[in-house]
Structure 1
């Protein structure tokens, strides 16, 4: 595990540097592999910068709302009750992973925060009972739940393909309903299998010797935040639950009307679902404002990097580079092996484009074009990229940063264990792609 830790700490730069380097690489490839000149490349890059603004906002909201939801008082109390469930150290590791996986399947923003918060809650409960648990493995188990996020309710690839007018839907000439991707029997089965196999793997590598266990020596749970003072009529409005409840009920009414009238699940509907829950769960506007301020710091990376991802997509489409990449995958793949090659390539690309939404903007059109030419169902291409994205997140530090900040650890503290998750989940993903392509 030590060589992997050293590699990450010493040689893997920030996500922002990744996207800048990727921009340069794509520009060089466009100049050398296509007939485009420097002016053509610059123009296609600049024209593409604004191409994903709506998608960028949707992705930012997924993270923002997931973070807010995980930190509402009812969810915090629920995590406190759940933390009392495991009775042994081994149960604690598996339990944290399973709960974080379920939260990630609901929404990836929620899963990331729940993983860190629950790890701290369980560590405090175990410490109070005199049971020693390895805190780094608890946190790694919480982050490992993120390995199934793209199979769930907030998966950006499947939701984008299901959204009318999205760049994937425009390329396909139609939308792909979630019944063919997220809610397909084979994807649900793969998600369950992944959770079971990874849980067993984490249990197998859990430290048994007391000298190998480094427990949290203090209670790392956040202290209760004091209520805002209420001294003026304006303060009474800010401290009233009536207004937030009204907005929450209005959002629920809209969602009911949307689905009754035959509306489908899209990225926007997912976000409005979580927004409705937030307005119904917060005590008052005071709490919502505080939670929003706390969550906003995690959104900056998305807002900064997505225009650069859009510029990369603009270069690839504007210069014809996307067609060359598509030809390559058609040449090396058959209808039966395409899913595995798409999965492996997506896992590699995720090192350079760690955002699932950003990766679909860059890689999605290439894989869909190649799948069409090979006669492969587009749902397989979409889920193969989804699996590859979530898979190498386990050895790519970008999305671990919010959780590590909550837990107070560094990537090297958990990477050895998340590498085990990477290997176990990868086995399930490869087998799934082979079976679904038969």
Structure 2
């Protein structure tokens, strides 16, 4: 049974639903028919960007060379993102997390209330770690879907689980741009003189940033609840042929051979975690804590070690890792293509030495003034983010132009980073790339949820741009601090 046929069979009841529900269902029906698979999406993006480079005057050879050179350019970041997903999955599938998920799944009394709960959990978790947000949100959806009496719309709940990635992740501790700017060692030498070091206190911990985050949390949850179909029109997991369960999916058989006893003993876990604690304590004692938490490798290390501790026994931990790997498959195969897109945009030059990225950047920056900067750069970042869904990698491409413009226009440098962060998350709502780990957990396709997330995008876009513009008036420019 397909989602389309199920929704169509209940079409007569949709007239009784609110306008947001009808709009979300309409977008979803369109997406189910026309939205491509995530890999097809990135392949189309490669072709579009390549054609744009040719139109810009780059030679076919230059475009091809950029494509090949860029294919592996994000390999380190690819592995970091894969480990974010693995770390989040391992922590979320631990016994303590499963008990938390079970407790949360018992709270809602209605299917629409369940969707709102998923949205809130996803957004709050994203402020800590976007991988945890995806996996924890997905597992909560499965637990709620097992409560068949709720008649929760599985698609709307899945979209709600994705809101952390489309609304707030870049405003939290796992913000790649904020992390890069807070650590001098992470910044390219060419960028450091332009931006200097910008601590978290001037980016994600600004009260203006917290205002945007709270507003997005409230708005996103409201939209998720109001756009979720009611019990008469909901497409449940059961209707989609998806088996949802609240049971612990990790089953560990008892040891059968003497050589297996260490796999089932916590001895090695305790020793490894003690070593990890020593390293973490050293990291946080030798430098400011804001710098210590600014490394994505540190995040991944801590999440993996916490996951190992929560699973307690190595065997259970390893099973969790194995189960996490399929959720990273889309990341592993598609990120190289996004690296190629970035390379074509920034390396395929015409006879004047100008790339497509240069053309886009200079066009937007030339239209900007000090007060229009947040709007212009916000729109630009959102558009480019649709083609390059990479928080840290994309920032390294944009930062030289964007931050130089911020200096020239006397715009608060930390706010310039936050303009990027808030706007960069917006295209995630309709770009299937970041959906991949969640879709793997929920056995869904991007087209199943993009109708609901597109509705969120329509609501978020004017709110985010307005707040970025209005709050900029409360900040003053300070020259870059260069260590």
Do the aligned partners of residues 357 and 98 (structure 1) sit closer, same or farther apart at CA in structure 2, a change above 3 Å counting? same
Question: Does residue 1:183 correspond to 2:218, yes or no?
Answer: no
SS, match of residue 28 in structure 2: helix
Shift of 1:59: 2.3
- Root mean square deviation of aligned Cα: 3.0
Shift of 1:135: 3.5
Q: TM-score, normalised by structure 1?
A: 0.86
* Residues 185-204 of structure 1 mapped to structure 2, 5 A cutoff: 185-204=207-226
CA distance in 2, matches of 1:37, 1:417: 41
Do the aligned partners of residues 10 and 138 (structure 1) sit closer, same or farther apart at CA in structure 2, a change above 3 Å counting? closer
* Residues 40-119 of structure 1 mapped to structure 2, 5 A cutoff: 40-43=62-65, 46-119=68-141
Shift of 1:102: 1.4
Do the aligned partners of residues 13 and 353 (structure 1) sit closer, same or farther apart at CA in structure 2, a change above 3 Å counting? farther
Do the aligned partners of residues 144 and 55 (structure 1) sit closer, same or farther apart at CA in structure 2, a change above 3 Å counting? closer
CA contact (8 A) 2:328 2:436 kept: no
Structure 2: tracts of 5 or more residues without a match = 1-22, 474-483
CA distance in 2, matches of 1:52, 1:161: 19
**Partner residue in 2 for 1:135:** 154
Question: Does residue 1:245 correspond to 2:270, yes or no?
Answer: yes
- Larger mean CA deviation between 426-435 and 376-385 belongs to 376-385
Pairs aligned (count): 433
**Partner residue in 1 for 2:479:** none
Shift of 1:170: 4.3
**Partner residue in 1 for 2:286:** 261
Q: TM-score, normalised by structure 2?
A: 0.79
- Larger mean CA deviation between 234-243 and 178-187 belongs to 178-187
The match for 2:177 among 152, 157, 165 is 157
CA distance in 2, matches of 1:415, 1:54: 29
Structure 1: tracts of 5 or more residues without a match = none
Shift of 1:118: 0.8
The match for 1:213 among 198, 220, 234 is 234
SS, match of residue 127 in structure 2: helix
Do the aligned partners of residues 375 and 14 (structure 1) sit closer, same or farther apart at CA in structure 2, a change above 3 Å counting? farther
SS, match of residue 146 in structure 2: helix
Q: Structure 1, residues 81-128: CA drift from partner, whole Å, max 9, x if none?
A: 121223344432322211111122211111111112112222334x4x
Do the aligned partners of residues 415 and 57 (structure 1) sit closer, same or farther apart at CA in structure 2, a change above 3 Å counting? closer
* Residues 36-435 of structure 1 mapped to structure 2, 5 A cutoff: 37-43=59-65, 46-125=68-147, 127=148, 130-146=149-165, 147-166=167-186, 170-173=190-193, 174-208=196-230, 210-217=231-238, 219-222=244-247, 224-263=249-288, 264=291, 265-318=294-347, 319=349, 320-321=354-355, 322-435=357-470
Do the aligned partners of residues 415 and 307 (structure 1) sit closer, same or farther apart at CA in structure 2, a change above 3 Å counting? closer
Do the aligned partners of residues 51 and 225 (structure 1) sit closer, same or farther apart at CA in structure 2, a change above 3 Å counting? closer
